A and B are shown apart, each in its own frame.
Chain A
Amino acid sequence: MSVTTHVPENVSAKKSFANSTFIRVLRYTAVRLLTLFVTVVIGVYLTILIANMGGFVDQIIKTQIRDSITQSVASNQTYLQMEPALRKQLIEERIALEEKRRGLDTPIAVRNARYLVNALKLDLGRAINMTSDSGSKQVRLILLERLPATLLLMGSSQLFLFFSSVFIALNLSRNYGNFWDKLTIALSPSSAVPPWFYGIFLILIFASGLKVLPFGGMVSAPPPLNKLDYALSVLKHLTLPGLSLILSSFFLSVYNYRTFFLIYSSEDYVDMARAKGLHAKDIERRYILRPTLPNIITNFALLIISLWTGALFTETVFLWPGLGRTLFQAIGQYDTPIIVGSTIIYAYLLAMTVFILNFVYALVDPRVKIGE
């Protein structure tokens, strides 16, 4: 995925008054905020619609309620003596009560609108079926409880991936064409394979074959009481999912950055700088890295917000208790509030990032002027 950013062409160096610059930036900010907000509203509303499948999910939940209440009344000894008609009435009353509790008696359109407004206000509400490990049904608490696990897994692997690939790519672009460079090019198609797939192989080798690392989960059971042992146990469980996330993007990521740096280092002004006899270090910092900065910052920003979504498939394969797996479980249990809660936070994070990036571009690249 990439982000829409309008980088205007080289702006003529007209002098503008500070006042008009201020109005221009202000107007741009207002328009941009408004369009981003509308984008978020539409995106979240679409997600709500799909999460309810146009009322289809209601049908499923209603059938579930009817089944479970009929079952519980039928299996209750005290109701056995009751007259059938009376018992039927009791069942119907209980079903109506339960449907009211879940809010199924209000029309779907009203509920969708209510979901949307609450979500936009970040009032995430209560989950339908899922509970947090501490027993709460608050969506906010459920998501917050899973957040550290995802941050640990995604954060460690993605940050490692980012810094190592930029660093290695710079090294490769300095002496491209050597053995390591060719090896990276040859291995870059390996990223066609998704992380969970590497995960299966890693499980096969390290968990099943060598029996040195655990199959899945986040900490051994029962969890160690000692803090140090606990940390070590988490680290052990983190190794395989983290490694599979890194493996599946590493070579392509290095290749992309390397190619990117090479394209920028073949510009005329770089040749010019070389001809002037500048130090290789200075050329790299001022003539190659500087113009690539907006792109690198974009990638980094998108990486940071991708931490929120977690790695759905990898977390599922490794039974890692993170946000991605929670989202998957929520879908399986028709838990719309959690799906919507997860989406709205991602949408806000993304919109905020896109908004801030516009200003960051203007800061790091003097050719870019906001709102022109």
Chain B
Amino acid sequence: MLNNLRSSLQKILLYPSAIVGVLVILLLVIVSIYTMVTIPYSQAIAMWRGGEEVWYQNPKFAPPAWINFFSTKKYSESFAVSTTNAEIQKTVIPVERGVSTIEMVYEFEFESDVYPQDLLLYFNSSFDQKQPFISIELITPDERTIRVANFAIGNKFTYRFAQDDKLRAKLRTDKVIPALFSLPESDVPLKGIYKLVITGSTFEPDSIIDAEFVFHGQVFGWAGTDHARRDLSLPLLWGVPVALAFGLMAAIGTSVMTMIIAAIATWYGGWVDELIQRITEINLVLPFFALLIMIGTFYSRSIWVILGATILLSIFTGGILAFRAVFLQVKQSMYIEAAKAYGASNMRIIFKYLIPRMIPLLIPGLVQSVPAFVFLEASLAVIGLGDPVLPTWGKIIQDANSNGALYKGYYYWVLEPAVLLIITGLAFAVLGFALDRIFNPKLRDV
């Protein structure tokens, strides 16, 4: 029996597509484990539901950085640097009677053909009574010094370059960022090394200033960001374990339950069998998607509730009748007679003799049904019934759709989760297809 199974499984090697499928599934499993170890569940959810305070360093609607490989235009990457991490040089020069000057300098290279989205400065300071004073200058590659702004800061202060009215007036334009990043009277970005000079003055001995410089470029990371500045790598990574768990659990739950019920029905026969056939007919009348949507809308959008409902609704379908037909044949076999003769209990016969015979038939169907469940989760998420807390692929597509991503040309936003869904679905479909041809003797020659 087991040898049989093993030799059948070895035939997979004859199907190159199935090998690719197995490798992809293995890779997905490895990625899931990596994700769950590096970004624990609670942290992932806190980040996914976090707002501006978590994601302020990221630009909005930024495509992934690798589009620079394919694009003739070069887009600027985002970065964030701070004095606390010693990325910005900070020198404190005491002047007299508690007054000191703090010079913070950061040099950065700007080599892209598109202006950045925005520049921001976040200040943290401590003082008793006298507020520190800040002045900001930007030195362009052609050695011009642009005096950006002067202001006093409180304990926390945020300065946004693009929204400063005084700076707009000074530069005589509404578009501050393009004016800062190009030569006067020109409308192409000026490439080269820019130098941001922040000069702070403190008026108390223990007063300190820390600054963080956030550069919102046009591209971000390997996955890009969404409308809420969230890094898409988080839901893309976390989507892997969610999709695998939902797909596999639904597939295993459905097919194992179906098989057990079919075995019990055929073994006992009579009214049990009749009842199960009637339930199957009733289930046929029930609208599957509508029921799932109702449960999602009225009751709970938790992925576990939806999973349970999916399994329940999928047990009594055509599959049970197919299993039943085979069990009816197996029931007549000699070895079942022998088991009856030595006095094996009903349960023993069902679980030790009937069900193991079905495993070769079970496996292909199980693997082939995984993609349907993976896509079911995504489908529900796309119409707004995804799990409210979990970051999943379907949720990304829903966010993208409701923000008009396809309309506005944010293709990466839809394509990344879509490609992952397709890869996952196809891996299982291809493997299941090969298994079907291996285990199903009728298909072997055709």
Contact = CB atoms under 8 A, between A and B. Distances in A.
A266 interface: yes
- Looking at A4, A36, A53, A327, the one whose CB has the most chain B CB atoms below 10 A away is A4
A186 B401 CA distance: 31
A313 B285 contact: no
A40 B281 CA distance: 9
What interface size band does chain A fall in? 35 or more
Contacts of A339: 290, 294
B282 A316 contact: no
Contact of B284 (A1, A38, A53, A194): A1
Contact of A200 (B298, B321, B406, B407): B406
- Looking at B283, B299, B379, B415, the one whose CB has the most chain A CB atoms below 10 A away is B379
- Consensus secondary structure, chain A interface: helix
A197 B397 CA distance: 10
A135 to B, nearest CB: 25
Nearest to A188: B433
A51 B368 CA distance: 31
Interface in A208-230: 208, 215
B426 A50 contact: no
Contact of B294 (A1, A40, A50): A50
B324 to A, nearest CB: 10
Nearest to B293: A331
Interface string A298-336: 000000000001001100110000000001100110100
Interface stretch (B109-117, B178-186, B417-425): B417-425
Contact of A39 (B285, B293, B318, B442): B285
Interface string A169-196: 0000000100000000010111111101
A4 B280 contact: yes
A157 to B, nearest CB: 18
A314 to B, nearest CB: 10
B375 A197 contact: yes
Interface in B380-431: 382-383, 397, 401, 406-407, 409, 411, 414-415, 418, 421-422, 425-426, 428-430
Contacts of A266: 445-446
A346 B285 contact: yes
B294 A51 contact: yes
B372 interface: yes
- Consensus secondary structure, chain B interface: helix
B375 A3 contact: no
A64 to B, nearest CB: 13
A313 B297 contact: no
Contacts of B289: 312-313
Interface stretch (A41-49, A90-98, A99-107): A41-49
Given A4-B277, A328-B293, A189 B426 contact: yes
Contact of B379 (A176, A196, A259, A309): A196
B285 A43 contact: yes
A351 B285 CA distance: 8
B429 A192 contact: yes
A332 B446 contact: no
A40 B285 CA distance: 7
11 contacts: A38-B278, A42-B282, A47-B287, A50-B294, A56-B299, A197-B418, A201-B418, A208-B407, A312-B289, A313-B379, A316-B383
Interface of A: 1-4, 35-36, 38-40, 42-44, 46-47, 50-51, 53, 56-57, 60, 176, 186, 188-194, 196-197, 200-201, 203-204, 207-208, 215, 259, 262-263, 266, 309, 312-313, 316-317, 327-328, 331-332, 334, 339, 342-343, 346-347, 350-351, 354
